[in-house]
């Protein structure tokens, strides 16, 4: 059954990619974002959301791809991060439950503390190290308490050829200098926004037919990388497209202090989503090549100013 895909967020890399995939598969896409919907105003959520949910046809699914994602700034703005990442998702999920519309909620590997030496399972204890991680975990828990048939999709190190993310930041730095310093003692799994979008639409199709497992699932690229290795992969790929080769100076986290602590190891085990939905981990290097090519082809590809 093909219903609407209601997406919270419009210009973020996952929101944009999800809209593209949804339209290509026959869905009508409804975006809810500022100014119609301000996630920093939880008290206004129901007023903006309810009319859309009430008019949604059978088979519709809501995707919450919007969040406060500035990990460092969240340390100085904990109330705002909590409002957007914890309070609002709970309200959205509650309204979805009342309208009998499933919700797919995007979450993060930063809910874990990084003390494991093997990929995290969905059942592992969450011990976030940062305000951002704690706010996202609180949002996950609020969504799971709802009656909206929720799927929490935890992912990591999201990248694409557009938007604000690590890949575009590295390309910008590479256009200005021949060497960059990147931490080498934090390990994750870079994941393309386009691959996340494919997974979301596959899950949405099953949820719409009421034939799907719910709960928390991990989804990420198939190749663990330190941030320095990720940067090196970006520059090697860009060089194949004619960009000047940039070298990576691998440093320790303590040599690059930041307001927020990150997990040293946040690789995710993705076996559960393969069992429940038949979704395999995507090929990281293929997605990276496509994203780098897209970024380099864009006229503004050296204009990004924020990190992910």
- Cite the active site residues: 132
DSSP string, 170-236: HHHHHHH-SEEEEESS-EE--EEHHHHHHHHHHHHHHHHTT-S--EEEE---SS-EEHHHHHHHHHH
Gyration radius (Cα) of the chain, Å: 19
What is the rounded end-to-end Cα distance, in angstroms, of the chain?
35
CA distance 302 to 260: 26
Distance separating alpha carbons of residues 219 and 191, to the nearest angstrom: 8
Q: Name 227's Cβ contacts closer than 8 Å, sequence gap at least 6.
A: 157, 166, 182, 183, 184, 186, 188
DSSP letters for 248-291? EEEE-GGGS--SS---SB--B--HHHHHHH-PPPP-HHHHHHHH
Minimal CA–CA distance to 63: which of 151, 164, 183, 167?
151
Largest CA distance in the chain: 55
């Amino acid at each position: 059954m093909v219903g609407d895909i209601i997406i919270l967020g419009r210009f973020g890399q996952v929101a944009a990619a999800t809209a593209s995939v949804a339209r290509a598969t026959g869905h009508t896409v409804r975006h809810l974002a500022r100014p119609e919907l301000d996630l920093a105003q939880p008290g206004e959520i129901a007023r903006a959301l309810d009319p859309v949910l009430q008019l949604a046809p059978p088979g519709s699914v809501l995707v919450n791809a919007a969040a406060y994602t500035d990990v460092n700034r969240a340390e100085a703005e904990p109330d705002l991060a909590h409002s957007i990442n914890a309070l609002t998702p709970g309200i959205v999920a509650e309204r979805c439950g009342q309208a009998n519309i499933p919700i797919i909620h995007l979450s993060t590997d930063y809910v874990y503390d990084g003390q494991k030496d093997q990929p995290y399972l969905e059942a592992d204890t969450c011990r976030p190290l940062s305000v951002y991680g704690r706010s996202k975990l609180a949002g996950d828990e609020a969504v799971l308490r709802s009656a909206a048939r929720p799927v929490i999709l935890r992912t990591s190190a999201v990248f694409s050829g557009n938007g604000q993310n690590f890949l575009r930041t590295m390309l910008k730095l590479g256009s200005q200098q021949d060497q960059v310093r990147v931490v080498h003692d934090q390990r994750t799994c870079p994941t393309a926004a386009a691959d996340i979008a494919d997974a979301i639409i596959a899950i949405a199709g099953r949820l719409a037919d009421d034939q799907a497992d719910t709960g928390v699932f991990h989804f990420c690229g198939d190749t663990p990388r330190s941030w320095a290795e990720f940067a090196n992969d970006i520059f090697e790929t860009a060089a194949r497209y004619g960009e000047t080769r940039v070298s990576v100076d691998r440093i320790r986290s303590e040599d690059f202090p930041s307001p927020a602590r990150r997990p040293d190891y946040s690789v995710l085990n993705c076996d559960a989503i393969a069992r429940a939905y038949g979704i395999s981990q995507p090929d990281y290097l293929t997605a990276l090549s496509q994203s780098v090519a897209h970024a380099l082809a864009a006229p503004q590809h050296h204009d990004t100013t924020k990190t992910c």
